[in-house]
Amino acid sequence: MTLTAFAKVVGTYPQTIHKYVNGQRTPCADMMQRIAHATNGAVQPNDFFDIPDQSNTSNTG
């Protein structure tokens, strides 16, 4: 899907999606929800922040 098509799906401008993709801008909470919905959960709000993935850590200790 192109940036233009995706922008239409989530209700914003292609330039805005480009800025999200390149880390130049962070979407508001409402837009994060629209993006998560439009991607069927493939992109989640945490993806917009530099948060380490905790799923591979073990509690052996």
Encode pLDDT of 13-56 as tens digits: 999 999 999 989 999 999 999 999 999 999 999 998 876 666 66
Any domain includes 38: yes
Give the pLDDT mean for 4-13: 98
Any domain includes 61: no
Any domain includes 60: no
Any domain includes 10: yes
Residue ranges making up the domain that contains 16? 3-43
Would you state the pLDDT for residue 61?
53
Any domain includes 36: yes
Any domain includes 26: yes
Give the pLDDT mean for 3-22: 96
Any domain includes 50: no
Whole-number Å distance between alpha carbons of 33 and 27: 9
Would you state the pLDDT for residue 55?
66
Any domain includes 35: yes
Whole-number Å distance between alpha carbons of 20 and 18: 5
pLDDT band at 60 (very low <50, low <70, confident <90, very high): low
The total number of structural domains in the chain stands at 1
